[in-house]
Amino acid sequence: MRVLLQRVSRASVSVEGAVIGEIGPGLLTLVCAMRDDTAETAGVLAAKVAKLRIFPDDAGKMNRALLDTRGAALVVSQFTLAADTRRGNRPGFSAAAAPTEGEALYEAFARELALLGVPVATGRFGADMAVSLINDGPVTIWLDSDAPAV
């Protein structure tokens, strides 16, 4: 599973001109399920997102987590995070989970994040969405369940 986090002052997602999800301070969370991902993968990454210390403390150091700040998460599916650009000029997306599986894992990720106590708003899986945000920092973090831990 791949997740791209953007720390935001606010963010929203619209479908056909109607806002379907919005948050104030927190994280815009773009999520892509990959072929071999499981519900366990979604849970592990949701916990990582909730506990990742990327918000400033009173001294201005990134030392507080989403749970500490009582911020929210806007969870938006984005299969293009699976893009393989190693060959040619057209990205390939064969590493992404099939749509039915991808939708289930996207929903599992959002559900797990909410179960941890994070207020969650979502986009609509498979829809053509317009995402608006005010990036705070800017802080943008890439998480990949296949990346080796060091």
- pLDDT for residue 147 is more than 70: no
Confidence of residue 146 (pLDDT cuts 50, 70, 90): confident
Say which CATH architecture domain 2-144 belongs to.
3-Layer(bba) Sandwich (3.50)
Helices (H), the chain: 39-51, 66-69, 99-115
The yes-or-no answer on residue 85 being catalytic is no
Tell me the average pLDDT across 7-18. Answer: 98
**What are the residue boundaries of the structural domains of the chain, listed by start?**
2-144
The yes-or-no answer on residue 6 being catalytic is no
The yes-or-no answer on residue 80 being catalytic is yes
Q: What is the pLDDT of residues 17-57, one digit of tens each?
A: 999 999 999 999 999 999 999 999 999 999 999 999 999 99
Count helices and strands (H / E) in the chain: 3, 8
Contact predicate 23/73, CB 8 Å = yes
Find all residues with CB under 8 Å of 61, minimum gap 6, and list them: none
- pLDDT for residue 11 is more than 70: yes
Given the residues 55, 79, 109, 125, select the one marked as catalytic: 79
Given the residues 6, 29, 41, 78, select the one marked as catalytic: 78
> CB neighbours (10 Å) of residue 107?
18
Instruction: Tell me if the pTM is above 0.85.
Output: yes
pLDDT of residue 150: 43
Confidence of residue 148 (pLDDT cuts 50, 70, 90): low
Q: What is the pLDDT of residues 81-135, one digit of tens each?
A: 999 999 999 999 999 999 999 999 999 999 999 999 999 999 999 999 999 999 9
